[in-house]
Amino acid sequence: MNAHVKPLDAAQPRHDWTLDEVEALFELPFTELVFRAAEVHRAWFDATELQLSQLLSVKTGGCPENCGYCSQSQHFKTATRASKLMEADTVLAAAREAKAAGAQRSCMGAAWRDLKDRDLPKVAAMISGVKALGLETCATLGMLTPDQAVSLKAAGLDYYNHNLDTGPDYYDKVVTTRTYQDRLDTLAAVRDAGMSTCCGGIVGMGETRRDRAGLLHQLATLPAHPESLPINDLMPIAGTPLGDSTPVDGLEFVRMIAVARLVCPKAMVRIAAGREHMSKELQALCFLAGANSIFVGARLLTTDNPGRSADDALLADLKMRPMGQKAAQPA
């Protein structure tokens, strides 16, 4: 066993991880790493269940940030066109459709640097309406002030998504219009308002394994681990600085999932963007390594996602079921 890896204490959360310890987990033999992660997963979750989430772009394009992976940035020439904030009725119709198709969670995303107070009432109406449908609610609207976070909580928002994207040492290679501390400050405002945090990042942006370990180290040493931890496999988009990026090897992506499960054992670890180019075997390995949520629907903001028929077939092949759905009884 690697001398730099402390023995795991029956999947109990820790907040004292060192960067070297997290990186050492990545270096474990693949089968040993996945076995450990699978054990930890089963300590907190039913490994035959997946949470199904819908992600809807409620305001697309025109963002002043320069995140190198994003087609919605006004800094880059891409096929994405800017649109205004959707009406609440349109958002609720999409949420009803998603719920009818089996989704348990609705995520609303707006391409903003920060939430403006003038837009808060309209966003709050979306949130309260979706919450009233019985769906778990999540939103990603850019940076928040503490008062805005309190208002979103009052509207019924369960989770706020604000990704760190990558480790702190690689961050300025990806975005320079917002600092790492800006992101940490928004997460603090969300926690202080009593909401759960949804925070993860992206692999495949040219970062090293230590950078990936750096991201997970940041998440594992926050005052509270993210309750939701999305891992995105970069979908290179023409016209963005990262549009020609070399994909991360599939087994390396599974390692990322497994280490995320080990260092944040109680988090919902979500396979976010990138499933469109993953085989069902690779996705199955991710579930074995501790992923227990996927996004359903044909689109994730501005990128493709497997259709629902493909996801239904995947769950059937793996004999898995949506979270909260009773297991089929033997004949």
Residue 42: CB atoms within 10 A of its CB come to 12
Which member of 67, 199, 264, 286 is catalytic?
A: 67
Residue 295 DSSP SS3:
strand
Of 36, 105, 138, 199, the catalytic one is: 138
Structure tokens at 217: 């180290």
Active site residue 138: yes
Question: Which residue out of 198, 199, 264, 286 is catalytically annotated?
Answer: 198
CA neighbor of 50 nearest in space, from 286, 293, 233, 252: 293
Q: Is 107 a catalytic residue?
A: yes
- The DSSP letter of residue 243 is T
Beta strands in the chain (DSSP E): 49-59, 105-110, 136-140, 159-161, 196-198, 201-203, 228-233, 268-271, 293-296, 299-300, 303-304, 321-322
Q: Which of the following is catalytic: 36, 105, 107, 255?
A: 107
Structure tokens at 177: 């219009």
The C-alpha torsion from 270 through 272 and 276 to 277, rounded to 10°, is -80
In the beta sheet, which residues pair with residue 73? 63
CA dihedral 199, 219, 37, 327 (to 10 degrees): -30
Nearest to 250 by CA among 274, 272, 270: 274
Catalytic residue chosen out of the listed positions 36, 63, 105, 286? 63
- Asked about 264 being catalytic, the answer comes back as no
Choose among 315, 286, 293, 324: nearest CA to 228.
293
Q: Would residue 63 show up in a list of annotated catalytic residues for this protein?
A: yes
Beta strands 293-296 and 268-271 are parallel
Paired with 52 in beta bridges are 294
Spot the catalytic one: 183, 212, 255, 270: 270
∠ CA 265-267-268, nearest 5°, is 125
Query: Which residues are the active-site residues?
Result: 63, 67, 70, 107, 138, 198, 270
